Amino acid sequence: MHTEKLARIKPLLWSLVWLGIILFVFFFMVSNVLAQEPTPVGPVQNTGITDDQVNAIAKQMFCPVCENIPLDVCPTQACEQWRELIREKLAAGWGEKQIKNYFVDQYGERVLGAPPAQGINWLVYIVPPIAILAGLFILYKALRLWKPTAIEKAIESLQAGPINEAVADAGNQAARSIDPEVDEYVRRLEEELRKRE
């Protein structure tokens, strides 16, 4: 009964697994394709700092005014000022870390593209991998459950109609190879089925 049910829903479950894999691959590819292009490389400014150098830092930050738009592609005046500030700091010889720390001091941690791994922020780094691992574990368990065991195959063969000795032998052998106790169980089952016939 249980096996029949499984056999019926098995194609559906496999479809779901494949759908999941396809969606995962699709979103992974699309996210790369849709990644916004940074502001084009312009001429070297008076400071001698190129737009590329500015954008390398700016793309790791977000201005609180324009939600979800990285600083390197944000077209607002506020973001333009921030990029100019990065350029000035770079020209003054500041390093990337120093500049990011300055922005955090001035505008808060939310300007960073990735929250610093401290305090409750750790959850952001820990929860997704744990959730993925848990999901994989559940998937593995489910796949194991869907795969009929040698015993189930043997029982199915026995229930299918007139006893086919070859199939029964195969079932017995498979069962014996797994567990001697199961062997005893299969023997009794066969006996019961023979009696019924």
86 close to 130: Cβ distance less than 8 angstroms: no
Residue closer to another protein by CB (options 169, 184) is 184
**Tally: H helices and E strands in the chain:** 8, 0
Scored b (16 or more CB within 10 A) or e, 115-139 reads: eeeeeeeeeeeeeeeeeeeeeeeee
Q: How far is CA 66 from the centre of its chain?
A: 28
33 CB contacts (<8 Å, ≥6 apart)? none
CB-CB neighbours of 167 under 10 Å:
15
Residues that bind another protein (CB under 8 A): 63-65, 76-78, 81-82, 84-85, 104-108, 110, 120, 123, 127, 181, 184
Residue closer to another protein by CB (options 23, 123) is 123
* Cα distance between residue 53 and residue 7, in whole Å: 59
Tokens for 56, please give them. 């390398």
Residue closer to another protein by CB (options 55, 87) is 87
Residue closer to another protein by CB (options 61, 154) is 61
Residue closer to another protein by CB (options 46, 77) is 77
DSSP state of 74: -
